[in-house]
Amino acid sequence: MNRHRKILFTLLLGIAFSAPTLAMAVEFAFHGDLNNRFGLYTNQQGFFSGDKVPVIDDNDRNDSFASIKYRLWTEIGDNDGAVKGVYAVEIGAIRFGRGSDANGGREWGGAYSGDGVNIETRWAYTDFQIPGVSSKARVKIGLMPFTVNSFVWDETATGVQLSGENYKLAWVRGKEALTSAGDEWGDNDLDALLGRYDFKNDALKSGVFGLYQWQDTQATSYAMNSNGYQIKKLGDVKFDLMTLGTDGSWSTPVNDNTVFLNWDLMYQTGSFDNVEFEDTLSGITAANKDYDLSAFFVHGDVGIKFGKSKLTYTAWYASGDDDANDDEFNAFITTDVDRFDSIVLMEGGYSDDVYFTERPALFDKGFIMNKLALDHQATEKLKIGAAALYMLTAEDIEYTDALGRSQKQDEIGVELDAYASYQLYPNIELAVNAGYLFAGDAMDRFEVSSSNANIVDGSADNDIFRTTARVRYKF
């Protein structure tokens, strides 16, 4: 036996004899979410622009596509659960047939031969119990799922989090910048501090929280626009922001039914300095100035569960800004969220990387949502549902139409949604949904036409239809 084979044989023996010991010391789990998505059809593919100014084409832009989004993660911990390490990778939104991306040259790996850069680290964190304290007192460090509130910040982020049965304290760094010549310590770093306390009993769950976010910079002027009105898209603008909020849920049995209520209430205050702000929709650009922020958000669900059905009415109001020329921001601002409430407008389509907006508001104009949804468990494996939505902006979308007239519109429109989900096996789902938006006149701002120069005339002319599907395997 040569030397290399002896080394290999010795290593294999060592692994074989140590395996029982290792198995006694740690627990290993492997999970997956393999999501195959299909944009079955839409008549307006230019509308799903990802928080940019969309295009609604008078001549339609029909399209369909298929994509995959696979997430795999492993958890390794000791037998009593005191320590756990988590690592997840994601192969994200690979379109069938999509090779290079003209917007940056990225290779997605969906074309012939499949080569491409498309794997990201989704989670990478250590989670451990604090010795000598309550068993529920734990620390997480790294790239982790981070939740403040589903309407303001609910995504992966890097930081340190201390949590217990009723509290959570966290520091998160949203962006880091190395100090350059002339910079002060901390310039251009974007940090956040969170404190939260929860109250719970059998029927009521409620919490209060405070989120403070800040970024310092020495810049004397920074461009900011309303389609980038989100903390993760601000760039190097100097700001201080405090979000104070409460959220919760309550339910009670009534005869053989259950009545429930969910709520979210938030107020924001802060300042944005040395900003040259552009209202993307009106085209107004304000002179460089300092802005004070005062904004709020209110959301509520009220519903009833009866038999195998659930009826829910959802409403929310996100404040918006009505004057780009003053020195106040009045629009509620999110950090990083994913909203699925609308199939057409938001990420409710199963191909959820393709959307108009991921936020609960439009640009800096806020939002008013009214939604009535019915869900029904038709059989043990089949679930169906339908919803009707009436949506507006909280403040008018102001623009000049093709005839030179000033327009002020706030009606997004009425949307009708439907879905069906079938469990082919306990861990594999087949689902299809569809949404149709009867466009309100505010959607006129986004219309284009190759044959009608006056299509932007203050009146919406084109409705939007979208249907998507997925085959999802989770384990």
User: How many other C-beta atoms lie within 10 A of the C-beta of residue 331?
Assistant: 25
Judged by DSSP in three states, 192 sits in strand
Beta carbons of 152 and 137 less than 8 angstroms apart: no
* Residue 457, phi then psi, degrees to nearest 5: -130, 15
Residue 12, pLDDT > 90, answer no
How crowded is the C-beta side of 365, counted as CA atoms within 13 Å? 26
Residues above pLDDT 70, as percent of the chain: 91
- The percent of residues in the chain predicted with pLDDT above 90, rounded, is 77
- The tens digit of pLDDT for each residue in 56-86 reads 999 999 999 999 999 999 999 997 889 999 9
pTM of the model: 0.90
User: Has residue 15 got a pLDDT over 70?
Assistant: no
3-class secondary structure, 32: strand
214-244 residues labelled b (16+ CB within 10 A) or e (exposed): bbbbeeeebebbbbbbbbeebeebbbebebe
442: burial class by Cβ within 10 Å (0-12, 13-18, 19+)? buried
pLDDT at position 173: 95
Q: Are 428 and 35 in contact (CB under 8 A)?
A: no
DSSP letter, residue 75: E
Please tell me the predicted confidence (pLDDT) of residue 181.
65
Please name the residues in contact with 472: beta carbons below 8 A apart, sequence gap of 6 or more. Answer: 33, 34, 35, 36, 428, 429, 431
pLDDT band at 222 (very low <50, low <70, confident <90, very high): confident
pLDDT top residue among 39 and 114? 39
What is the model's pLDDT at position 251? Answer: 97
pLDDT tens for residues 279-303? 999 999 988 899 999 999 999 999 9
Q: Are 408 and 398 in contact (CB under 8 A)?
A: yes
Averaged pLDDT, 94-120? 68
Given a cut of 60, is residue 460 above it in pLDDT?
A: yes
